[in-house]
């Protein structure tokens, strides 16, 4: 999956899942800024072939197509009627139809650390945050994949103070496993895993 699509699906998932709890206008602005900052950090670390401007333009174009006034009115009506569960179910159904699964609905063959937050499967790209540091997360995945007999493709390994990108070979599908990490804060690392023809 292209990085641009993964970012768009992650933004959509975050937007839709938070409608029941947040004011739409503040939420959209805050989430777009956070995701654009994360995308910029990822791209600047050499993990993508798109420019920040390309991603920002795409995200803004996609968000401009969302009728936030209608979504806000629907959300407010459901909340006034006590329909939080109905809203949540509707949002989850919409996400699932778009190929995005979150939380308990996510099934994966990738190993997961004990600390997993915001687990999302966006059309085959697994995204989550962990309370582990970058070094701890690297060690976890290097050990877990070595135990499965996968080998790290050292030529494609890129590690900085705040990011990491690794590729592992040996999966029975013949596809490579791409692991990308971005430090979001002290003991808070964003993890992205996917299969790819590399």
Question: What is this structure's pTM?
Answer: 0.55
Domains of the chain plus CATH, in order, are 3-98 (no CATH), 117-196 (3.30.310.80)
Segment (H or E) for 144: helix 134-147
Q: What is the residue-level pLDDT of the chain in tens, covering all 198 positions?
A: 444 444 544 555 444 444 433 444 454 455 555 555 555 555 455 445 555 565 556 555 555 555 666 666 766 776 666 666 666 666 666 655 655 556 666 788 999 999 898 888 887 889 999 999 999 999 999 999 999 999 999 999 999 999 999 999 999 999 999 999 999 988 899 999 999 987
Q: Which two tokens stand for residue 54?
A: 């390309």
What integer pLDDT is reported at residue 47 of this predicted model?
Answer: 43
Q: Spell out the long-range contacts of 113-117 with Cβ–Cβ below 8 A and sequence spacing 24 or more.
A: 113/137, 113/140
pLDDT at 104: 64
Q: What pLDDT is stored for residue 51 in this prediction?
A: 52
């Amino acid at each position: 999956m292209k990085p641009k699509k993964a970012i768009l699906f992650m933004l959509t998932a975050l937007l839709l899942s938070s409608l029941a709890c947040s004011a739409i206008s503040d939420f959209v602005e805050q989430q777009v800024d956070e995701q654009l900052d994360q995308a910029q950090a990822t791209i600047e670390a050499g993990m993508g072939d798109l420019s920040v401007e390309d991603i920002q333009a795409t995200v803004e174009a996609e968000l401009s197509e969302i009728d936030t006034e209608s979504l806000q009115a629907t959300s407010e009506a459901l909340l006034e009627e006590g329909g939080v569960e109905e809203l949540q179910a509707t949002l989850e159904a919409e996400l699932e139809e778009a190929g995005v699964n979150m939380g308990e609905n996510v099934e994966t063959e990738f190993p997961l650390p004990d600390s997993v937050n915001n687990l999302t499967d966006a059309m085959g790209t697994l995204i989550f945050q962990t309370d582990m540091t970058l070094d701890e997360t690297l060690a976890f995945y290097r050990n877990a994949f070595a135990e499965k007999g996968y080998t790290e493709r050292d030529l494609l390994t890129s590690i900085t103070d705040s990011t990491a990108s690794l590729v592992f070979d040996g999966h029975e599908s013949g596809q490579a496993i791409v692991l990308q990490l971005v430090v979001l804060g002290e003991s808070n690392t964003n993890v992205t895993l996917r299969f790819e023809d590399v």
